[in-house]
A and B are shown apart, each in its own frame.
Chain A
């Protein structure tokens, strides 16, 4: 609370000691209204595409994009099952996973002041991957190298819970290695080390139990196929809490953009704020990853898209990135189902291709200009 009040009087865009020159004030106001317009336009556009995406998701089934068959399907006796229990939750679930990753990406990029940062940076992806591989290997080795009781217990724990715990565990390991969140660079390095280490351990496990490879690959590629209403409730609840908490610390992220020294001079308790942001980032990522696997690129691209089309302070960026992530993943999910029916592409592959092409074009344009 005290942090928020301190920050309110220190908005980086309006230094308190700036002279109230009338021309500058007018220009400032004009720019603010242009910004406002851009944001409103982006929000409206996101809402429109998002709604269209969800509708398209509802009519895209195992026959591909088939709006004409939808009416017949709605009247069929399997409508509640096919549309209510499969298509609706996976479409809305894609939106929730996307928004969690978008939020995570915005938090990560703000925290590290680095446009290359993504939600998987601090060892959460590697941790979740290792946990998934361990469970898969455990069930495969049941009765051979492990007792059957252990294997059954592992099955009960399930891949979702394991991935969640693994993601949080990976970040915890990173934090331990970096001795808290005092130094950003140390944190980043620790994240890289932990990712490499846990990745190697999970590769080792797949050597012992090659059966786990299949499941591991499915997890690495990401999928919305397995989302049901209970997972949606979990992610929805999580998103609301995490977004609310993140927005309360948006001003701290704004202050961090000025650099550590300036942020500290504004009265920020940097290690504490950073630790809190890391925890929020880890929770958002773990929640998304455990339900849908490692969906690539959404977390990286969503904040970029927002900043490019409607820049603003973190109070705007965090929420807008979440919305952007949601729209991106809904569209990617529909594409993954509609491109080669009745087969499906892993949604992570679609997002990686879309995101990669986008960044490619962006870099090329900037390089030319």
Chain B
């Protein structure tokens, strides 16, 4: 067959298909316009996109553990209809459908749940695709204490219970202050090395873990200039000689076996905190359990203080 004619046929076909695919999208736009006419809740997410809701959404999908925790902390757990594969707190979310992760979200399963909003962070192709399919996506950054506070306030408004946002944050503040008060005075100002599993990556001063440590009156061997979670040379830790070493329990136990690290005074004097998995999870999620995380850290510091 004449390739030119074939190409034209194909192009026509493809254009028709493309036009057909746009039809539902335009329909969705007009539906949005109608919703906007009613008195609406308007939210601007961290990407600058505005989302409109006529009423507080009753069917919510969360694709980030910290957001799942925030929704539940604000009393919206019942409205969650699905979560990502890592969400596991509080226990009741374990009964919900699992929808993959941020980058390999199960598009069809999510759409089938008819969520009124999907909560997620930053960018991923899955989120773009969901938006094209007409599912509203609220993108919330959570990397610092300020992010957690802003997210809690916004989600409380989204749930239609705006008063719970400040309450939840006040609770976290109270827990942070309580934990800070429990830190033994002798340990205050000592330099801490907090390791995140695998890398090894360190939690720097500018990370939310670093912020919590600062609130507890502790110093950090990783300066803010190195970024939130830098991958360090083991030499750096050795030279810095942290007074206290923190990390997941299984990593903390193995640290002494690393070449040269037996020279770390903190390890010799057993000035280390190894956190059990469920406590460690509370530590590494920038969500409503910030206060609990601070008290986990304070527990460990208290124990170290007593041992002395």
Contact = CB atoms under 8 A, between A and B. Distances in A.
Interface string B95-112: 001101111111111011
Interface string A78-115: 10111011110100000000000000000000000000
A241 interface: yes
A343 B106 CA distance: 7
A218 B103 contact: yes
Nearest to B110: A62
Contacts, number: 118
A344 B18 CA distance: 27
A136 interface: yes
B55 interface: no
A233 B103 contact: no
Interface string A198-232: 00000000010011001101100001011011101
B124 interface: yes
A136 B228 CA distance: 17
Given A62-B112, A139-B122, A342-B97, A210 B201 contact: yes
A290 B201 CA distance: 31
Interface in B3-34: 3-4, 6-7, 10-11, 13-15, 17-18, 20-21, 24
Interface centre among B7, B101, B112 (most CB of A within 10 A): B112
Given A159-B125, A240-B7, A232 B14 contact: yes
Contact of B109 (A62, A78, A152, A229): A62
A180 interface: no
Contacts of B48: 152
Interface string A57-87: 0000110000000000000001011101111
Nearest to A145: B227
A343 B99 CA distance: 8
A244 B129 contact: no
A161 to B, nearest CB: 12
B304 interface: no
Contact of A214 (B102, B134, B227): B102
B107 A86 contact: yes
Contacts of B24: 80-81, 84-85
A346 interface: yes
Interface in A324-369: 342-344, 346
B128 A158 contact: yes
Contacts of A85: 21, 24, 133
A305 interface: no
B231 interface: yes
B21 A228 contact: yes
Given A86-B108, A240-B10, A226 B126 contact: yes
B123 interface: yes
Nearest to B107: A225
Contact of A223 (B11, B15, B104): B104
Contacts of A241: 7
Given A244-B3, A244-B7, A233 B17 contact: yes
Contacts of B13: 236
A229 B21 CA distance: 6
B109 A211 contact: no
Interface in B111-126: 111-112, 114, 122-126
A250 B11 CA distance: 23
A84 B133 CA distance: 11
A225 B122 contact: no
Nearest to B198: A210
Contacts of A62: 106, 108-109, 112
Interface in B195-236: 199, 201, 227-229, 231
B232 to A, nearest CB: 11
B211 to A, nearest CB: 15
Nearest to B102: A214
Contact of B11 (A140, A159, A240, A346): A240
A247 interface: yes
B132 interface: yes
B133 A81 contact: yes
Contacts of B134: 81
Interface string A137-153: 00110001100000010
Nearest to A342: B109
B124 A229 contact: no
A260 interface: no
A82 B47 CA distance: 27
A237 interface: yes
Contacts of A226: 107, 125-126, 128-129
B108 A215 contact: no
A312 to B, nearest CB: 18
Contact of B98 (A78, A140, A342): A342
A152 to B, nearest CB: 7
A155 interface: yes
Contact of B18 (A81, A160, A229): A229
A82 B112 contact: yes
B132 A228 contact: yes
B7 to A, nearest CB: 5
Interface centre among A152, A233, A241, A247 (most CB of B within 10 A): A233
A139 B123 contact: yes
Contacts of B103: 214-215, 217-218
Contacts of A136: 123
Contacts of B17: 229, 232-233, 236
A217 B10 CA distance: 34
Interface in A127-143: 135-136, 139-140
9 contacts: A62-B109, A78-B114, A86-B107, A139-B123, A159-B123, A214-B103, A233-B18, A244-B4, A244-B7
Q: Which 3 A-B pairs have the closest CB atoms?
A: A229-B21, A218-B103, A244-B3
Given A228-B133, A247-B3, 19 more contacts: A62-B112, A78-B112, A78-B114, A81-B111, A82-B108, A86-B108, A155-B47, A218-B104, A218-B124, A225-B106, A226-B125, A233-B15, A233-B18, A240-B6, A240-B11, A244-B6, A342-B109, A343-B98, A344-B106
